Amino acid sequence: CSESLEYKVKYNNIKAGSALFNEKILSRDSINYRQISFSVKSSKIVDIFYKLRTEVSMIVDSNEYYIYDLSKNLKEGKNIENSYSIIDYDNKIISYDNKKIIFNGEKVYSILSLIYFLRNQSLDLNEEYFINIYNNGVIKPAIAKVIEKYNHTQNIIHSIISVKSKNNNQNHMTLVISEFDNIKIPIQFELYTKNGIMELFIDD
């Protein structure tokens, strides 16, 4: 009912620290949801030059992982970002901090909840998934495509997935999912942010 994954972190190609990905099942009014949390902490040495702290928490659908609410507290050097969003699909309103945003009611994903959605798909080579990525009050149509699939060893298969904006081909994420004995684990992913590239990988 719960899972924790630990990652090493590189930020703009510099060894920066560590990250923790958690998932657990929640129940409200006899309905199951999932809570996903993601945290990044730079090492003490990196803190001297560029302090990196990330705390993200979200409630998502238990099967498809589209988001219901999203809380973010980020610190990258001198840049600080704190926000909270509630996605109301019935009334087609997104509450983002003190703003009310009207949308079409389509399912929206955080780039992080998308990782969990993708790991539960078949991930056939060249298969495409058309989704909507939400960030800071903005919804962007995107395409997740399995661009490579190969046998890492005799029993382990790696799938490489590219996630780009549908309209302008902007990179959002590159994800590597490892499959062994019908269990899929996101072993590596790169997040393309406005401040650079964050690389996360499970240390063997």
Of residues 51, 99, 55, the one with CA closest to residue 79: 51
pLDDT attached to residue 193: 85
For 41, 64, 204, the CA distances from 105, given in Å and listed in that order, are: 35, 15, 41
Give pTM, 2 decimals.
0.93
Residue 43: φ, ψ to 5°: -70, 165
Residue 125 falls in which region: left (phi positive, over 0), alpha (psi -120 to 50) or beta: beta
Q: Could you count the other beta carbons within 10 Å of the beta carbon of residue 93?
A: 15
pLDDT attached to residue 77: 87
Length of the chain: 204
pLDDT attached to residue 203: 73
Taking only the tens place, the pLDDT of each residue in 52-85 is 999 999 999 999 999 999 999 999 888 899 999 9
User: Mean per-residue pLDDT for 177-204?
Assistant: 91
